């Protein structure tokens, strides 16, 4: 038996223990999985070099993207899609402009701006929704705005990660990264407009008519792998292809069944290994030796994210009080930020110290975010909830 399979089993065990413990403490499981990986990597030096772990982690990314896209229901935000997209595009632009100016003063490179910007742009629906639901604020005007913005945020975040990865791969500005981004936008439009969904709907319905529902998982993975290979072959990242298939499948009648199967398999094995693998490269001693840099970057990135969300909302008929609440609700960082950081260290844009510091910032931000949301919204319940909504753990 390949000895590296033992590595995967050990990392999975640590991830599940860490995730379970953090869940009992009312924290996201992914934080426990990430901490478990950090602990394993600190004790077993070189553990992260396992090629088998890297393969399983890559599959974890695919399951995570599919699960996220299958949880999106664009029909809930169709009436305000233009405004939501405008706010998120403006937020992305503000983040990159501010980081470019600040990092220039700190003599940090442009590639680091790309990685950091794409990593901090995303907002976690799971943390925000759980916090707002406990406060009976999920159905409020601000609560609904937060969820709507986070749905759009997830799609734009994947586009940013794909574009940033392309530019980092080329190591220069030329027409190819720009063309790739253009193709991504066009591809997204084709998917959203329903052109591509007709074939997928016919394919999935055919499986149901033939009473071969057990084939749905294999068909989903085949479509995801094939589309990922196609997008990668034309110069885009494979993640974008997986995202497109996920959105297409989310529009089918079988989306819930597919999502449940993907969640069961992904959450029990592949996704925890992915998050734990990100922690293997964290060097805690390097973080302790650079506490001043940790505090500086934590303050800078928090203020940049808050400003990037707050400023555009002021132009969208939200009062200052509402804008502050919505901005606070968007502060929890998305798990895709971890994906971008992983890409950054893979392409040597981040050294181990900066990578470790950014991972710690992610952990600190997502632990403190619910407290900050509670302070901004206040402890008392607001409007009565008109209807109860469920949000999955890995929703963006």
Using one digit for the tens of pLDDT, what is the confidence trace for 276-302? Answer: 888 887 888 888 888 998 898 889 888
Residue 12 clears pLDDT 90, i.e. is over it: yes
> Which residues, at least 6 apart from 28, have a Cβ–Cβ distance to it below 8 Å?
22, 124, 126, 127, 366, 393
Element holding 232 (H helix, E strand): helix 216-233
Yes or no: domain 3-375 corresponds to CATH 3.40.50.2000: no
CB 290 within 8 A of CB 87: no
| Whole-number pLDDT of residue 297 | 87
Query: Mind listing the pLDDT tens digit for each residue in 82-119?
Result: 788 888 999 999 999 999 998 888 787 888 888 999 99
pLDDT band at 145 (very low <50, low <70, confident <90, very high): confident
pLDDT, residue 394, reads 37
Output the DSSP codes for 243-308: HHHHHHHHTSTTHHHHHHHHHHHIIIIIHHHHHHHHHTT--HHHHHTTHHHHHHHHHHHHHHHHHH
* Domain locations in the chain as residue ranges: 3-375
Per-residue confidence (pLDDT) for residue 171, from 0 to 100: 63
Stretch 165-177: mean pLDDT: 65
Q: What are phi and psi of 123, to 5 degrees?
A: -125, 140
Helix (H/G/I), strand (E/B), else coil: 281: coil
pLDDT band at 395 (very low <50, low <70, confident <90, very high): very low
Span 177-191, average pLDDT: 60
**Whose CA is closest to 393, among 364, 366, 358?**
366
Average pLDDT, the chain: 80
Token output for 339: 């994906």
| pLDDT, tens only, 185-239 | 566 556 555 666 788 888 888 887 777 767 888 999 999 998 888 877 766 667 7
Q: What are phi and psi of 48, to 5 degrees?
A: -75, -5
The tokens for 249 are: 């499948």
């Amino acid at each position: 038996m390949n000895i590296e399979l033992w590595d995967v089993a050990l990392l999975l065990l640590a991830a599940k223990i860490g995730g379970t413990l953090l869940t009992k403490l009312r924290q996201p499981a992914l934080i426990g999985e990430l901490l478990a990986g950090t602990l394993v990597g600190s004790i077993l030096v070189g553990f992260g070099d396992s090629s088998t772990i890297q393969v399983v982690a890559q599959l974890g990314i695919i399951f995570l993207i599919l699960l996220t896209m299958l949880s999106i229901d664009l029909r809930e935000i169709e009436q305000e899609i233009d405004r939501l997209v405008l706010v998120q595009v403006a937020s992305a632009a503000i983040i990159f402009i501010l980081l470019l100016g600040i990092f220039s003063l700190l003599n940090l490179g442009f590639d680091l701006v790309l990685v950091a910007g794409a990593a901090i742009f995303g907002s976690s629906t799971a943390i925000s929704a759980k916090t707002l639901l406990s406060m009976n604020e999920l159905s409020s005007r601000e609560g609904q705005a937060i969820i709507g913005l986070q749905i759009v945020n997830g799609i734009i975040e994947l586009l940013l990660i794909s574009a940033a990865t392309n530019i980092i791969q080329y190591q220069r500005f030329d027409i190819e990264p720009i063309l790739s981004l253009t193709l991504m936008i066009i591809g997204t439009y084709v998917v959203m407009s329903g052109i591509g969904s007709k074939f997928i709907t016919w394919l999935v319905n055919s499986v149901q008519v033939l009473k071969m529902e057990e084939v749905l998982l294999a068909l989903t993975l085949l479509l995801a792998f094939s589309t990922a290979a196609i997008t990668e072959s034309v110069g885009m990242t494979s993640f974008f292809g997986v995202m497109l298939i996920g959105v297409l499948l989310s529009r089918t009648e079988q989306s819930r069944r597919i999502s449940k199967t993907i969640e069961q398999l992904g959450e029990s094995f592949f996704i925890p290994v992915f998050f734990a693998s990100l922690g293997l490269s964290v060097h805690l001693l390097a973080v302790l030796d650079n506490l001043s840099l940790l505090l500086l970057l934590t303050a800078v990135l928090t203020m940049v994210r808050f400003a990037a969300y707050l400023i555009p909302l002021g132009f969208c008929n939200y009062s200052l009080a509402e804008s502050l609440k919505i901005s606070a609700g968007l502060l929890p960082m998305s798990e895709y930020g971890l994906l971008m950081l992983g890409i950054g260290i893979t392409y040597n844009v981040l050294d181990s110290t900066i990578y470790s510091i950014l991972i710690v910032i992610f952990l600190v931000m997502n632990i403190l975010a619910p407290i900050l949301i509670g302070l901004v919204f206040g402890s008392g319940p607001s409007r009565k909830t008109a209807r109860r909504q469920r949000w999955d753990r890995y929703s963006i």
